[in-house]
Structure formats: structure tokens, C-alpha cells
Structure 1
Amino acid sequence: MANDLSIARRLDFEPLDDQLDDAIRNGVAPGVVAIAATPDGIIYEGAFGNAGLDDDAPISPDTVFWILSMTKAVTAAACMQLIEQGRVQVDQPAAEILPALASPQVLEGFASDNTPLLRPATRPITVRHLLTHTSGHTYSLWSEALARYEEVTGTPVIFSGKNAAFDIPLEFDPGERWHYGISLDWVGKLVEAVSGQSLDVYFRENIFSPLGMKDTGFLIGSEQRRRLATAAQRQPDGSLLSQPYEPPQRPEFFMGGTGLFSTPRDYLAFLRMLLQGGSLGGVRILKPQTVAAMMSNQIGDLNVEKMVSPRPARSNDFDLFPGMKHKWGFSFDINAQPGPFGRSAGSAAWAGALNTHYWIDPVKQVTGALYTQVWPFYDDQVVGLFNRFEKSLYQAIEKG
């Protein structure tokens, strides 16, 4: 463990170290990195285990992880920059920027011969709908209907990096409800259309380079590959099997929903920027009021719903706050009540499908993240470890 700040040295993180170390010894993951910060800086770094089951390299805060849906917050931040500049309006029809969204179709079911039954959507998709997962676009990973549609039509999944993956119908009319999906991939295309740059270049010039995030991007070099963590698959008996996997390195489009690689230290710079109202180290990425909007309810009376997966090898069913109403911002899950492990009401959070998890607590002014590379998403053992990490971190801060 490395804690560089004097505040960190005054806090008792030994119980947290023990919990993380024990988890690796007990097979929760091949390796884990946990990291946290306050506005004063990094207060905790813990790294235990190896980069993979078949990799003797120790895992570290500079290990490269495929962060999957942690990409979405970066894509949303890029879009919010364009909104600040007046180049995009939150409630404008997205088709004004992306003509491919001009005539969305809604999937109503399937005929007896498996032909999809479609009808025109009753209203246009707005930028807000895309930023808040209320557009009607879903993921086949958490939609039996869309999984069936992709199978009968031969449509590739979004993780393929193929543009044909966008040729899917909506599952409900825009604005009707919340359902997690590919909306932020559309936002990535929107950022490209407005900026005139590829998403890779836009992110690098406007977010990553200003924040010093040198190891974050869609494409990984040979030196980064040597630091890459390897995925593992949880087996029915609870054991793990090495299962290397990564997104295509020559994609037809840069996946604004799931495509980024990063390191725990790199991504913490992004989280700290948000925690501090849009700036870090004297560099402003977003205005304070923009960050406040991102971490506020943007779906009104709608609620975030439990996601049910038809593909249990890749994801369990999940709900970040069972039994509690929670909302969605631009682009975070927001708990309306205090969380059970320490975070305040109004905190923002999300995760990546290989079980990388984070939260930002604007009230207690702390952000934390935990990194593994374990399938399926919302693995019980990893989620339990993440919860213990959060609880132990807040306990150490309160005692300190």
C-alpha cells in the first residue's frame, strides 16, 4: 500500500489492507486495486494479488484495466463540454446532429416466424434521453427482447465495435422509462459530429492530456499491454478460470459506452476532477454548475430499474440500491437516500462490466474505486468486497 499524503498517514487503513489481502487469498479475484481520494489528494492505494491467474506480475495502481462502462462518464463529460460551449442543447432532438436517429422504430414483439414487429416511435430522441438512458435503446446483455432481435437478424452486439450494431430498434418510446443501454455510444458519435474529431482525439486533447491521464485511451500500446490485467470467469463452484478478453483494437467506431482502457491512478484523476467541481491541479475541465447537474436527478419522476440479464455468464441481475429509489444524472446512478456502507445521499456512482466500481460523494467529499477483471458483472464476491472497501474507508476517515 502507498499513501503519499500526510492525511493518509494519520488514518488507520490496516483493517482495509487485511480485508483486501484476505479476499485475494480466498479467490475473490486474481488481483484487486482499491484507491480513494479527498480534495486534499489520494488518501488510499491498496494493490493485492496478480494481474491475472496465469500472470505472476503483481497488480498495481498502474495496471491497465479495460474499464468498460466507466467510459460512459467520460463521454458524458465530453458532451457536457460541448453543451457549455453552446454547440449542443440538452433538449434538442438528437437527429439534428445525428440523422441516423431521425426515424426510430420501437420493437413491439415477434411474429410466429420470429420476424420482429416494429412501429414508429411516438416522439423524437433528445440529447437528454441519450445522456440519461431514457432513449429506448437497451443492451442485449440486459434485454431478452434485444438479445432475440440480434440473434434473428444477425445484428452484431455493440461490443464488437461494428457500426452495424447501431441498427437496432428501441424497446420503448423515448422518455417513457429508464433502461440501461447503448445511448452513450450514440453520444460518442454526437461528440465526434459536433467537434469534427474522432472520439479518441477529442478525449485526449480535452480531458486526458489536461488531467495527465497518460495511460487512458481506446487503443493500447505495447508498453501498456505489458501492464494489462487479464480477465477471469467465475465458475459455478465459485472458482475462477482465466479468460483473456479485450475489445477490438481496430474498431469501426470508438465505443463511447464501453471502449476505454485506463489505470486506477489515471481514472482517479478524472474522479477527483468531478469531486472538485470540474477542476484538478489548476486545470478546469467543466464548470461547477455543470458537474452539479451531472450529479443531479435528470429523469424526473422516473426511477432507475433493476437490470435482469439473459446472459448470466457475462452479467448477474443487478440493482445498486435494492429497495431504495434511485435516480440518474448525466451519466451516473444517484442514491436518493444515504447508502448502507457510508456514502451520502446524492452520491454518484457506476461501474464497468468486468467489475470495476466507483462512487463520488459530494457531501463527505470523498471518491473511491475498486478494480478487478472478473466476469460476470455484479459478481457477488467482488460486490461484497467493494462494499467492505467503502465501509472500511469511511470508518477510517471518521476515526481519523
Structure 2
Amino acid sequence: MSLNNALDALLESAVGNADLPGVIATVADRDGVIYERACGMRAVGGSTPMSMDTFVWFASLSKAVTTTAAMQLVEQGKLDLDAPAAKLLPEIGKIQVRTGWNADGSPILRAPKSPVTLRNLLTHTSGFAYEFFNEGVIREQESTGTPNVVSGTHATMNRSLVRDPGTAWEYSIGIDWAGRMVEAASGLRLRDYFAKNIFAPLGMGDVTFQANEEQLSRAAAMHARLPDGSLTAIPFGIPPDAEVDMGGHALSGRVPDYLRFCRAILNGGVLDGNRILAATTVELMGMNHIGDISVPNQIKTFMPMLSNDCDLHPGVDLKWGLGFVLNVQATPEGRAPGTLAWAGLPNVYYWIDRKTGVTVVIATQIMPFWDAKVRSMCDEFERLVYRHL
């Protein structure tokens, strides 16, 4: 069976078994797109089919784009990976480390032992944390009335650090702060910087922080997996007039456009003759930037409606580059050591295997994250890709 036929059969089975309402999957090598398929419906029980033009929330797939913007400015000498971020953003220098709780429930705070740097922000070693993976952040938000991260407010970014910078890896809002640094260094709002320096050169015109009516008319519904395994459509949307362009989670768009971004990284920073990064910068981004610190395979959820507990790559050591998780060993499914990858809350996934020369983007719109049925499909998709290469 050919690769296309094998992948078609897998996606059709997942949709036919009602494991997923719909899915979009794309594969490319260094020469171009070798597979793309939209399967199923935009909404469970609906009649509008998924298509390559279906609009989806990318969520944390945004992080690699923001990191790319930051690294463009590092190339230009406008940002420094290791200078204190407070030189550009004085407000980040005022944020303190939470060490405990006062009797009235307010946080006990102290100054961090070292300043937060851009490298810390890009590698999730800044000391910031996300509420859905850190119970203390939830408690602080409740005690101080701080809004959650999806609010896109300045207030949500001014949360306390949970530890000193550079001491551990914890998934966080660091990339949102990195986006603020891009704005400060470039003089442009993040949406405008992306449009000019990444989306236009790569032909990603349908990717945006602010979806318009036409884009929303093509959007897939967001779904929740219920305890009995069934799916239901749920209301969900990024705030339309957010105070901050949240570079960590707020982009939406078409999967084929995001694949163009991945293809540029796969090809060393260039696509169709348009270069967005130097090849040496892409190499730098694919190196381990957290030293002896490791990314945990198992990540516990504290908001089960948003994420399940995650077991990222059992038995495989994980590190973090600039913008990507890196698997130190080959995965059982086939990706080579040093593959660049990450994912987003509505079960959207990508990987960029520069050694083998293949990149994949798979998107559903199902929460919570790390859905067992989506993961099973993705793992088999990966096995099939490598089996046929």
C-alpha cells in the first residue's frame, strides 16, 4: 500500500469510528508537499466537511513563530539572548518569585536570584508557569483576582515566578513575554511584525491573531471529549480585542500555511527562495539550550478540562532548543534524534525531522490536550510516514 493510501485509510478509520469529528494532516519533504488530506466534518454531527481551507486554532504552535521572530532580531543585533529582559521591558524586572503563602492567602514574594533573559523565556526556564500545569498559579490567580492566560491581558502576564530563572524547565508564558520583547525591539505590534517578516515572505496570509468574519465562517468547531468518550461541540474563542498579541498561543489559521512555516525550518530557514532565518540560526535553534536540565516526559494537569496528564515520549530523553522540544534518542515511531517538535491544546501537533528530511502537521480541534484517541492516531500516522520513506 502506498503512503497516501495508508494515511488515507488511517484518517478515514479514525473519523469513521467517531474517534474524531474531523482532522487535517499534511506531510512534506525538502522538495515540497507529499501528502495532504482533510477528513471528516468541521463539527460533530455537522454536514460541512473539513477542507484544507478550514480555519483552526493553532494554540501553542504559535510559540515557534514567536521564537523565529525573536531570532530574526537576534540576527540583527536588536535582541540579545543573554541580556536581562528588563533592559527592554522594565516591568519584567519587577516580577518576584513566589516562595509560599501568607496567612491571608496572599503570596510570599522575594526578588529572583538572577534576571530573566530572552534565552530563559524561549526555553521555559524563566521561572514562569502555566496555570493548567501548576496548582500554585491557580491559587495565586484566585487570591489576587488575576485573569487566566487566555484573557490576553497585561494582568495575566504579571504573575509571579514559581522559581528562580535558569533552575528548571516548566512550560510557561515565557514565549508571550518574548513576543513583548519582539515588539519593544522592532517598534511593531506582534501581528504586524509577523505579517511583514514571516507571513508575507512565506505565503502564510491566512494566519492571524485576529480572525475576520470570512475566516470565522470557515472555522472548525471546538470540541470537548466527555468522560464516556463521546464528543460535543463547545463555545470557544480567543478574545477578539485582546490587550496583548499572545505569542505563546493566540494564532489561528490554515494547516497548509503552518506547514509552509515548518518547511522553511526544515530547509534551513528558506522557502521558495524567501529566507526568514540564516541556516546557522536554524542550527542554533535545534541545539540543546537547557544544559543538564531535562524536559519531563510526564506532565501532570491541574485543569482536566484543558489537558490530560501527558506522557510525551516514554523512555526518550527530552531537551529544549530555542522554540522546540528535542528528542535525544530516536522515538519508537521513527523520528530521528534532534527532531524539532511541539503541540497545542486542541490536539494540534507538528514535527520537523531535519535529519530524515520530513515535516508533519496534524490538527484536530478537540480538548482536553493529549487526547488518547488523537494520540493513538498520531502515533500510527508517524509510524506509517517513516515506514514508507
TM-score normalised over the length of structure 2: 0.98
Deviation at 1:54, TM superposition (A): 4.8
Offset of residue 80 of structure 1 = 0.2
Which deviates further from its counterpart, 73-82 or 215-224? Answer: 215-224
Counterpart of 1:354? 346
Pick which of 314-323 and 139-148 moved more. Answer: 314-323
CA offset at residue 12 of structure 1? 3.3
Q: 1:73 is matched with which residue? A: 64
Hey, what does 2:115 align to over in structure 1?
A: 124
Pair 1:323 & 2:307 matched: no
The one-letter code of the counterpart of 2:333 is F
Query: Counterparts of 1:157-196 in structure 2 under 5 Å?
Result: 157-196=148-187
Q: Deviation per CA, 1:169-222, whole angstroms, max 9, x where unpaired? A: 000000000000000000111000110000000000000011110110101122
**In structure 2, C-alpha distance between the alignment counterparts of 1:355 and 1:224, rounded to whole Å:** 20
| Identity, % of aligned positions | 44
Letter in 1 for 2:62: T
Instruction: Quote how far apart the aligned CAs of 1:11 are.
Output: 4.3
- Cross-structure match for 2:306: 314
SS in 1 for 2:228: coil
Alignment partner for residue 382 of structure 1, among 350, 366, 374? 374
1:366 is aligned with what amino acid? V
- Alpha-carbon offset, residue 110 of structure 1: 1.7
The answer on 1:246 being equivalent to 2:253 is: no
Query: Which residue among 51, 54, 62 is the counterpart of 1:60?
Result: 51
Equivalences for residues 85-104 of structure 1 within 5 A: 85-104=76-95
Q: Which residue of 2 aligns with 1:6?
A: none
Please identify, of 298-307 and 269-278, the stretch whose mean Cα deviation from structure 2 is larger: 298-307
1:371 aligns with 2:372: no
Equivalent residue, structure 2, for 1:220: 211
Aligned partner of 1:274 in structure 2 is 265
Q: Distance in 2 between matches of 1:12 and 1:261?
A: 28
Please give the per-residue CA displacement for 1:349-378, whole angstroms capped at 9, x wherever unaligned: 001100000000011000001100000011
| SS of residue in 2 equivalent to 1:249 | coil
Give the counterpart of 2:336 among 331, 334, 344.
344
Supply the distance in 2 between the matched residues of 1:115 and 1:281 (Cα, whole angstroms).
54
> Which residue of structure 2 lines up, in the alignment, with residue 5 of structure 1?
none
CA contact (8 A) 1:13 1:393 kept: no
Secondary structure at 1:118 match in 2: strand
Report what 2:24 is aligned to.
33
Q: Which moved more, 1:366-375 or 1:99-108?
A: 99-108
Cα shift at 1:25: 1.5
Report the Cα offset of residue 52 of structure 1: 1.2
Shift of 1:147: 0.8
In 2, the alpha carbon distance for the partners of 1:268 and 1:298 equals 25
Q: 8 Å contact 2:95–2:159 — kept in the other structure?
A: no
TM-score between the two structures when normalised by the length of structure 1: 0.95
Q: CA RMSD in A?
A: 1.1
Q: List alignment gaps of at least 5 residues for structure 1.
A: 1-9
Quick check: 1:341–1:390 contact (8 Å CA) kept in 2? yes
Cα distance between partner residues in 2 of 1:169 and 1:221: 34
Is the 1:137–1:181 contact (alpha carbons within 8 Å) kept by the matching residues of 2? yes
Letter in 1 for 2:102: A
Mapped contact 1:13–1:396 kept (Cα < 8 A): no
> Counterpart amino acid of 1:335?
N
